[in-house]
């Protein structure tokens, strides 16, 4: 850091999708920000597929608040694409496989419902999968789904922050916060609030580490399937997601005990077993990555303030769905910061304290 004191409205710690989206809306609102992000730490946002899937699970239910979250996310990504001239969001349907008549019938019934009709259908042509994907009892299709390239999104914003001299590449040192009456000093930065967007590593934050973290490590493979160029995403046990040319993102696994960014043999073989159940064609593994999803006990995003130090805030808990939920809740938090609107009770950090 240089030695001049830099005055900002907000200091954001962590530049995954949470920190990036919050920065996006604060800058749009005309606020001055600085952003600190540690080098050599894997961000979940760097390796996630960025799938936006509005209908999930065995019970075939719409994702939490998806009717609000999805259009807002797409609008935000389109706005960023136009501004930076980069492709971030691609609309892509999901083909979901069914192994039994019962599963498919449940899907069929749901797809006829008024509130689900725009999202899913039981009529889909999966004939192009013949010879590539092993035969399944039936396929259904999810519409309005898509993929956000979170790695590209965070990278273009990182370049922008660097160009504007507001990016500081370092691990945040909590001991260096100086609390003054109406301001905070962190090294050379003077600010009014510090907002932590640290992903799962907020478990090590002395101010928010006591929240009920239930982070989940996930691993994925990037594979090449020679001669195969699928347009749609495949959900058949695991996800196989086209990411350009003959390359596919394959994932993912869940692990709650050993939380770190190290790829493991156990997860690799789980993913290979998953692929064996789906693919009829040969493939090669190009990459293998691991990262940790930031999850709290209530499986909801978290926004708000520390009870004793109200100058310290948190935006976290994006869980398995950062691509669909980050824009909406970043904008919500930004409105709270800039206009004083109340935080939604469901995502307010206080609801998590015992
Ligand atoms: C394998 C896998 C697959 C996934 N697939 C999808 C998907 O298909 N769709 C979807 O929507 N979501 C998916 N997710 C979830 C998604 O990745 C997360 O919801 C989202 O990326 C979380 O963003 P975040 O900004 O909160 O955290 P992160 O992306 O982890 O970013 C946190 C940042 O904070 C930095 N940081 C932390 N502590 C400090 C500190 N003290 N000082 C400085 N910097 C710090 C970190 O280095 C990091 O850069 C997946 C996750 C995984 C692991």
Task: Report the pLDDT value the prediction gives residue 57, as an integer from 0 to 100.
Answer: 83
How many Å apart are CA 236 and CA 213, to the nearest integer?
A: 29
Reported as a single tens digit per residue, the pLDDT across 224-283 is 999 999 999 999 999 999 999 999 999 999 999 999 999 999 999 999 999 999 999 999
Q: Whose CA is nearest to atom 18 of ligand 1?
A: 322
Separation of alpha carbons 28 and 6, rounded Å: 20
- Looking at the CA of residue 251, tell me the nearest atom of ligand 1: 1
Considering only CA atoms, which of 130, 77, 42 is closest in space to residue 328?
77
Query: Do the strands 6-7 and 51-52 form a parallel or antiparallel pair, or are they unpaired?
Result: unpaired
Residue nearest ligand 1's atom 3 by CA: 48
pLDDT of 352 reads 82
- Where do the domains of the chain lie? 6-47+151-212+298-352, 93-146+214-293
Q: Is the entire prediction scored with pTM above 0.85?
A: yes
Q: Which residues pair with 51 in a beta bridge?
A: 147
Place 214 in a pLDDT band, splitting at 50, 70 and 90: very high
**Over 90: is that where the pLDDT of 4 sits?**
no
What confidence tens digit (pLDDT) does each residue in 30-69 have?
999 999 999 989 999 999 999 999 998 888 999 999 999 9
The pLDDT-based confidence of 354 (bands split at 50, 70, 90) is low
Cβ atoms of 145 and 120 closer than 8 Å: no
pLDDT, averaged across the chain: 95
Nearest CA to ligand 1 atom 37: 198
Q: Is the CB of 322 under 6 A from ligand 1?
A: yes
Over residues 185-192, the mean pLDDT reads 97
Q: Say yes or no: do domains 6-47+151-212+298-352 and 93-146+214-293 share a fold.
A: no
Decide if pLDDT at 336 tops 70. Answer: yes
Please check the confidence at residue 111 and state whether its pLDDT lies above 70. Answer: yes
The ligand 1 atom at the shortest distance from the C-alpha of residue 18 is 25
Confidence bin at 5 (pLDDT 50/70/90):
confident
**6-47+151-212+298-352 fold:** FAD/NAD(P)-binding domain (3.50.50)
**How does residue 194 score in pLDDT terms, banded at 50, 70 and 90?**
very high
Task: Please tell me if the CB atom of residue 17 comes closer than 6 angstroms to any atom of ligand 1.
Answer: yes
pLDDT of residue 337: 97
- 38 C-beta closer than 6 A to ligand 1: yes
What's the CA-to-centroid distance between 300 and ligand 1, angstroms? 15
Residue closest via CA to ligand 1's atom 2 equals 48
Superfamily holding 93-146+214-293: D-Amino Acid Oxidase, subunit A, domain 2 (3.30.9.10)
- Mean of pLDDT values over 181-208: 97
Instruction: Report whether residue 51 contacts ligand 1, using a CB cutoff of 6 Å.
Output: yes
Q: What is the mean pLDDT of residues 213-223?
A: 97
* pLDDT tier for residue 3 given thresholds of 50, 70 and 90: low
Give yes or no for residue 2 having a pLDDT over 70: no
For ligand 1, whether the C-beta of 197 sits within 6 Å is: yes
Closest CA to 145 of 76, 61, 58, 56: 56
Provide DSSP, 221-274: EEEE-TT----SEEEESEEEEEEETTEEEEE---BSSS-SS---HHHHHHHHHH
The pLDDT of residue 205 is above 70: yes
Calculate Rg over the CA atoms of the chain: 21
pLDDT at 134: 94
């Amino acid at each position: 850091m240089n030695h001049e004191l830099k005055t900002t409205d907000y200091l954001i710690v962590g530049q995954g999708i949470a920190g990036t989206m919050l920065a996006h809306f604060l800058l749009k609102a005309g606020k001055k920000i600085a952003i600190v992000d540690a080098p050599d730490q894997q961000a979940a946002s760097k390796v996630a597929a960025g799938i936006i899937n509005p209908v999930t699970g065995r019970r075939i239910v719409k994702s939490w608040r998806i009717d609000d979250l999805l259009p807002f996310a797409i609008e935000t990504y389109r706005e960023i694409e136009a501004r930076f001239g980069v492709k971030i969001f691609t609309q892509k349907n999901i083909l979901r496989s069914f192994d039994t008549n019962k599963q498919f019938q449940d899907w069929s019934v749901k797809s006829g419902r008024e509130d689900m009709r725009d999202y899913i259908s039981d009529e889909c042509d999966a004939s192009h999968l013949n010879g590539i994907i092993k035969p399944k009892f039936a396929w259904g299709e999810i519409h309005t789904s898509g993929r956000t390239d979170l790695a590209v999104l965070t990278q273009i914003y990182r370049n922008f922050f660097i160009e504007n001299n507001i990016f500081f590449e370092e691990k945040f040192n909590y001991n260096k916060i100086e609390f003054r009456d109406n301001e905070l000093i962190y090294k050379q930065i003077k600010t009014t609030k510090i907002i932590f967007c640290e992903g799962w590593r907020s478990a090590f934050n002395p101010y928010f580490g006591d929240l009920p973290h239930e982070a989940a490590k996930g691993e994925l493979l990037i594979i090449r399937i020679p001669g195969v160029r699928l347009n749609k995403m495949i959900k058949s046990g695991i996800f196989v997601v086209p990411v350009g040319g003959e390359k596919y993102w394959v994932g993912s696994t869940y692990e709650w005990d050993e939380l770190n960014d190290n790829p493991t043999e156990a997860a690799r073989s789980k993913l290979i077993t998953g692929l064996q159940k789906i693919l009829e064609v040969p493939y090669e593994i190009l990459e293998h990555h691991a990262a940790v999803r930031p999850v709290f006990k209530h499986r909801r995003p978290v926004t708000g303030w520390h009870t004793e130090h109200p100058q310290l805030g948190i935006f976290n808990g994006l869980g398995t769905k950062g691509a669909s939920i980050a824009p909406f809740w970043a904008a919500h938090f930004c409105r709270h910061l800039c206009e004083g609107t109340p935080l939604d009770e469901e995502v307010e950090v206080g609801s998590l304290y015992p």
